[in-house]
Amino acid sequence: MKKKTNKNILIVAGGTGGHISPGIALYQELSNCTNTYFLTLLRNRNYTEFSKKNINPYYYDAPKLSKNIKDIIFFPIKIITSILISIKIIRKHKINIIIGMGGYPTVPAIIAGILMNKEIYLCEQNVIPGNVTKLFSYFAEKIFLTFPIDKKKYFYIYKKSIITGNPIRKELFFFVQNKTNNKKIQTIFITGGSQGAKQINEMIWNLWIKYPDFSKKFYWILQTGIPHYEEFQYRINNLEFKNQIECFGFSTEINEYFKKSDLMICRSGAGNITEGILFSLPMILIPYPYAKDNHQYENAKYIEEHKAGIIIYTKKTEPENLFDAINTILNNYNNFKKNIEKLRFKDNPAQIIKNHILN
**CA-CA distance, 127 to 268, in Å (whole number)?**
11
Q: Please, what sign has the CA dihedral across residues 311, 340, 124, 134? A: negative
pLDDT of the residue at 196:
67
- Does position 3 have pLDDT exceeding 90, yes or no? no
The reported pLDDT for the residue numbered 63 is 92
Residue 104: pLDDT over 70? yes
354 falls within a domain: no
Can you give the residue range of the structural domain that contains 90?
A: 8-163
Question: Which of 163, 187, 221 delimits the end of a domain?
Answer: 163
**pTM, two decimal places:** 0.88
Interval 152-156 mean pLDDT: 92
- The residues, ordered by sequence, that sit 6+ positions from 116 with a Cβ below 8 Å of its Cβ are 87, 90
The answer to whether residues 136 and 233 belong to one domain is no
Q: Report pLDDT for 40.
A: 96
DSSP secondary structure letter of residue 291? S
Domain final residue pick, 163, 183, 217: 163
Position 337 in a domain: yes
Question: Does one domain contain both 250 and 200?
Answer: yes
Over range 183-188, report the average pLDDT.
82
Regarding whether 320 and 257 lie in a shared domain, the answer is yes
Q: What is the rounded average pLDDT of the residues 131-142?
A: 96
Say whether both 196 and 272 belong to one domain.
Answer: yes
Does some domain include residue 139?
yes
Residues 41 and 128 in one domain: yes
The whole-angstrom separation of Cα 74 and Cα 67 is 12
Could you give the number of structural domains in the chain?
Answer: 2
Q: Mean pLDDT across the stretch 138-166?
A: 94
Among 140, 163, 186, give the residue marking a domain's end: 163
The tens digit of pLDDT for each residue in 227-274 reads 889 999 999 998 999 999 999 988 877 888 888 899 999 999 888 898
Residues 135 and 284 in one domain: no
Residues 295 and 320 in one domain: yes
Instruction: Give the list of residues 6+ apart from residue 3 with CB closer than 8 angstroms, or none.
Output: none
Higher pLDDT, 210 or 271: 210
Q: Alpha-carbon distance 81 to 60, whole Å? A: 8
* Mean pLDDT estimate for the chain: 90
Give the model confidence (pLDDT) of 76-92 as tens digits: 999 999 999 999 999 99
pLDDT value at position 175?
A: 62
98 and 79 within one domain: yes
Measured at the alpha carbon of residue 170, what is the angle toward residues 164 and 174, in degrees to the nearest 5?
95
Is residue 222 assigned to a domain? Answer: yes
Is 349 a member of any domain? no
Residue 279 lies in a domain: yes
- 303 falls within a domain: yes
Residues 192 and 79 in one domain: no
Q: What is the pLDDT of residues 26-54, one digit of tens each?
A: 999 999 899 999 999 999 988 888 888 88
310-329: pLDDT as tens digits: 999 999 999 999 999 999 99
Q: Which CATH number do you get for residue 257?
A: 3.40.50.2000
Has residue 71 got a pLDDT over 60?
A: yes
Of 63-67, 202-206, 243-247, the one with minimum mean pLDDT is: 63-67
Q: Find the mean pLDDT for residues 140-165.
A: 94
Residue 195: its pLDDT value, please?
A: 66
The answer to the question of residue 151 being in a domain is yes
User: What is residue 1's predicted lDDT score, i.e. its pLDDT?
Assistant: 46
Same domain, yes or no: 338 and 225? yes
Q: Which helix (H) or strand (E) holds 89?
A: helix 69-93
pLDDT of 281 over the 70 cut: yes
Q: Say yes or no: 82 and 198 in one domain.
A: no
Residues 146 and 224 in one domain: no
